[in-house]
């Protein structure tokens, strides 16, 4: 992997779906694109992100740890259909994979080798999202053509701020103003299909970490799911610890025993909310 200059490669019309090398028109030069394998075996059921994401994971150039990735739609998710060329395969997968918080545009062709194409989304001349499209794949209907064989992404906090905002991703910042990885800290509203859209969940520490809940509507009151109660007007306790993390006008503090989080309004520090910690992860089926 190396530094990129400008990536403006375009697939020529009629990219072969029969395993023949694809014709590519190079508009500008590329300085040392990813030179590793475009195909490695991957296991969609593996607990290891590297094993799940195959060659796409190898093509990433994250500032931190890789965030997500797996086999493509045919192999794991059972979505999409065989397409006539690599670009159509990418568009089809993106259209079907609405569960991914990934930009829909801004991808370029980084490399073509035989019947495989590496699409990359670059930030600061480094690959933050990668898709491997391959020809000769069989879709759930038995049709053979182009599909996404594997994909991988860096933490959404490594995307440009305007892109993450457009995707609805809540990226916090530390005292230095640097983005905090979403894998470490983020928040989101509850799902509408469970009627929890008035509840805000703050996840800290990634999988197995602590979940704090702004249960403003009393959705979980009396159910024994929370370590304390939500309160929209409290005084910051003496043992609270300043995390240094901010999101918009929110500043995050934690109780000494981590039983609750405190959201302090940066513009009016007298406005403080207490968000109780969940005893166990709360999820909606």
* pLDDT tens digits along 225-264: 999 999 999 999 999 999 999 999 999 999 999 999 999 9
* Neighbouring residues of 101: CB distance < 8 A, sequence distance ≥ 6: 156, 167, 168, 169
Give which of 109, 140, 103 is closest to 25, Cα–Cα.
Answer: 109
Per-residue pLDDT tens digits for 80-111: 789 999 999 999 988 887 767 889 889 999 99
- Check residues 185 and 45 and name the one with the higher pLDDT: 185
**What is the percentage of the chain residues whose pLDDT exceeds 70?**
86
Number of H helices, E strands in the chain: 3, 14
Of the chain, the percentage scoring pLDDT greater than 90 comes to 66
Report residue 221 as tokens.
């009151």
3-state SS record for 140-195: CCCCEEEEEEEEEEECHHHCCHHHHHHCCCCCCECCCCCECCCCCEEEEECCHHHC
What is the pLDDT at residue 4?
38
d(CA 149, CA 134): 6
């Amino acid at each position: 992997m190396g530094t990129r200059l400008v990536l403006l490669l375009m697939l020529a019309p009629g990219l072969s779906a029969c395993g023949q090398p694809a014709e590519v028109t190079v508009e500008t030069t590329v300085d040392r694109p990813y030179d590793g394998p475009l195909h490695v075996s991957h296991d969609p059921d593996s607990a290891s992100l590297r094993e799940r994401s195959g060659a796409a994971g190898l093509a990433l150039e994250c500032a931190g740890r890789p965030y997500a990735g797996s086999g493509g739609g045919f192999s794991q998710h059972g979505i999409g259909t065989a397409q006539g060329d690599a670009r159509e395969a990418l568009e089809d997968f993106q259209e079907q994979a609405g569960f991914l918080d990934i930009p829909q545009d801004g991808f370029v062709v980084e490399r073509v080798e035989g019947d495989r194409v590496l699409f990359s989304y670059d930030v600061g001349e480094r690959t933050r999202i990668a898709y491997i499209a391959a020809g000769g794949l069989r879709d759930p209907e038995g049709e053979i053509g182009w599909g996404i064989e594997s994909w991988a992404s860096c933490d959404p906090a490594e995307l440009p701020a305007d892109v993450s905002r457009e995707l609805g991703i809540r990226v916090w910042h530390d005292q230095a103003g640097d983005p905090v990885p979403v894998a470490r800290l983020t928040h989101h509203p509850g799902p509408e299909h469970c009627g929890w859209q008035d509840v805000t969940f703050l996840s800290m520490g990634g999988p197995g970490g602590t979940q704090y809940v702004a249960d403003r509507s009393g959705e979980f009151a009396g159910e024994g799911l929370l370590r304390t109660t939500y309160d929209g007007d409290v005084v910051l306790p003496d043992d609270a610890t300043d995390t240094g993390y901010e999101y918009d006008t929110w500043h995050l503090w934690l109780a000494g025993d981590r039983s609750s989080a405190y959201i302090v309004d940066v513009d009016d520090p007298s406005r403080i909310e207490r968000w109780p910690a969940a005893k166990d992860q709360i999820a909606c089926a």
